[in-house]
C-alpha cells in the first residue's frame, strides 16, 4: 500500500493528556472534540494514562522495591476498580464485553507480573513495563468511548509500533526502525477512516522490551508521529489554554502568548514550563509542522501556536 495515495493534506495528530481523561465528563469533552475535528481531518490520536494513574504505578514499583507487596496490590486494585467503573459509565446502555475482557486480561497480566517481580530486583526495564499499563488501559477506554460517539476508532499499543533505544525510563524514538510497523499497522486504519488511538509514552527496545520516553513522553510520542507522517498540524490538548507570560494560577495578570517560535517554546519548556515536553519540539520543527496548544475545557479559545 502506497501511503502517498491515502495521505492527504488534512492529516493531524492530536494528543490528550491525563487531565482530559480524568473522569467521564472530561472523556466526553475529549470525544466531542475528536468527533468535530474528524469531520474534516484524518486523525491520529495519542493518549496519556488517566490522571494520576502513572503516579500510582510508579508508587507501586516503589512499594514492590520495598518488599511491600500487599500495599502494592491494594493500590493496583484501586486502579483496576477506577477503570472498570469508567468503562461501565461509558457504556450505560451497551455492554462493552470485548473491551471489558481486554481490560481484565491486562489487569490479570499486570497482577501476575507484580506477584512474581516482588521476589526479584526492580530493574528499570521492569519498572517501565509496569508503568506502561496506564496508557494501555486508557487507549482502550477512549477508543470505546469514541465508538459511543459514532466515531470509528481502534486502540493501538505503541510497544508494538514505536521502536526506541534501550534507555529504560528515558528512551528515544528510532525513525527508521519504526517505519515497517507504521506501514503495517497504521496505514490500513487511516486508509479506512478509522482513528488509531495510540498509547503515548511507551515503545519497544531492539530486544522487544517495553520502554518509556520519560515524564512528558506522550507529547514526544505525538510529535514523533506528526513528524513521521508529515501531518499538517499537531494539537496538544491540555487543561491550560496555552503558554502564558507567568503562571496564571499564581499571577492574575499573566497574559496568553498566542504565537511563539519553536526556539522560544523550547527554552520555556526547558526552564520548567509544563505546557509541553521540550523534547517534543524537534520532531515537528524539522518538518515545520505547527503545534497548537489548546484547552480541552475551552476548545474554541485561541490558545498558543508554536511555529
Q: What's the pLDDT score for residue 176? A: 86
On the question of pLDDT at 103 being above 80, the answer is yes
Q: For residues 27-52, give the mean pLDDT.
A: 97
Q: What is the pTM of this model?
A: 0.94
φ and ψ of 62, to 5 deg: -65, -40
Q: What is the percent of the chain with per-residue pLDDT over 70, rounded to a whole number?
A: 96
Q: What percent of the chain has pLDDT over 90?
A: 81
Q: All 3 cell numbers of residue 3?
A: 501511503
Backbone angles phi, psi at 198, to 5 degrees: -100, 140
The confidence band for 95, taking pLDDT boundaries of 50, 70 and 90, is: low
pLDDT, position 233: 97
Burial of 297 (0-12, 13-18, 19+ CB in 10 A): middle
5 falls in which pLDDT band (50, 70, 90)? Answer: very low
Fold of domain 3-306: Carbamate kinase (3.40.1160)
Give the closest residue to 65 by CA, choosing from 117, 131, 116: 117
Gap between the Cα atoms of 145 and 163, Å rounded: 28
pLDDT at 4 exceeding the cut of 80: no
**Mean pLDDT of all residues in the chain?**
93
Q: What's the grid cell of residue 306?
A: 508554536
Q: Where are the domains of the chain?
A: 3-306
Report pLDDT for 34.
98
CA–CA separation, 127 and 57 (whole Å): 9
What is the rounded distance in angstroms from the CA atom of residue 189 to the CA atom of residue 118?
Answer: 39
Look at residue 119 in the predicted model and tell me its pLDDT. 87
pLDDT in tens, 67-76: 999 999 999 9
Distance between CA 204 and CA 269 in Å, rounded?
26
CB-CB contact of 55 with 18 (8 Å): no
Instruction: State the DSSP code for 49.
Output: P
DSSP for residue 175 = H
- Over the stretch 213-254, which tens digit does the pLDDT of each residue have? 998 899 999 999 999 999 999 999 999 889 998 877 788 888
Average pLDDT of 193-208? 96
Mean pLDDT lowest among 6-15, 143-152, 194-203: 6-15
Q: Rounded mean pLDDT of 98-107?
A: 93
Pairwise CA distance, residues 136 & 200, whole Å: 9
Mean pLDDT of 149-163: 96
Q: DSSP state, 211?
A: E
Contact 215, 268 (CB under 8 A): no
> Quick one: pLDDT at residue 258?
95
**Is residue 154 within 8 Å of residue 194, measured between CB atoms?**
yes
CB of 10 within 8 A of CB of 229? no
Q: What is residue 272's predicted lDDT score, i.e. its pLDDT?
A: 83
Amino acid at each position: 500500500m502506497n501511503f502517498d495515495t491515502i495521505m492527504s493534506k488534512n492529516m493531524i495528530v492530536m494528543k490528550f493528556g491525563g487531565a482530559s481523561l480524568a473522569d467521564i465528563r472530561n472523556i466526553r469533552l475529549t470525544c466531542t472534540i475528536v468527533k468535530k475535528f474528524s469531520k474534516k481531518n484524518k486523525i491520529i490520536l495519542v493518549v496519556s494514562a488517566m490522571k494520576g494513574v502513572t503516579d500510582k504505578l510508579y508508587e507501586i514499583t516503589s512499594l514492590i522495591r520495598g518488599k511491600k507487596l500487599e500495599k502494592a496490590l491494594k493500590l493496583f486494585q484501586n486502579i483496576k476498580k477506577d477503570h472498570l467503573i469508567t468503562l461501565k459509565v461509558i457504556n450505560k446502555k451497551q455492554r462493552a464485553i470485548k473491551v471489558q475482557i481486554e481490560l481484565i486480561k491486562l489487569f490479570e497480566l499486570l497482577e501476575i507480573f507484580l506477584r512474581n517481580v516482588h521476589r526479584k530486583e526492580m530493574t528499570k526495564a521492569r519498572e517501565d513495563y509496569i508503568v506502561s499499563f496506564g496508557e494501555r488501559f486508557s487507549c482502550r477506554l477512549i477508543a470505546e468511548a469514541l465508538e459511543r460517539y459514532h466515531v470509528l476508532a481502534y486502540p493501538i499499543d505503541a510497544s508494538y509500533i514505536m521502536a526506541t533505544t534501550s534507555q529504560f525510563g528515558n528512551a528515544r524514538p528510532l525513525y527508521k526502525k519504526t517505519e515497517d510497523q507504521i506501514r503495517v499497522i497504521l496505514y490500513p486504519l487511516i486508509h479506512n477512516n478509522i482513528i488509531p488511538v495510540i498509547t503515548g509514552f511507551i515503545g519497544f527496545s531492539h530486544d522487544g522490551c517495553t520502554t518509556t520516553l520519560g515524564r512528558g513522553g506522550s507529547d514526544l510520542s505525538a510529535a514523533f508521529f506528526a513528524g513521521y507522517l508529515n501531518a499538517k498540524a499537531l494539537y496538544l490538548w491540555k487543561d491550560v489554554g496555552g503558554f502564558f507570560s507567568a503562571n496564571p494560577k499564581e499571577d492574575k495578570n499573566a497574559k496568553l502568548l498566542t504565537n511563539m517560535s519553536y526556539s522560544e517554546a523550547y527554552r520555556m519548556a526547558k526552564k520548567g514550563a509544563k505546557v509541553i515536553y521540550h523534547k517534543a519540539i524537534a520532531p515537528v520543527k524539522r518538518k515545520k509542522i505547527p503545534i497548537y496548544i489548546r484547552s480541552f475545557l475551552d476548545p474554541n479559545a485561541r490558545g498558543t501556536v508554536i511555529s
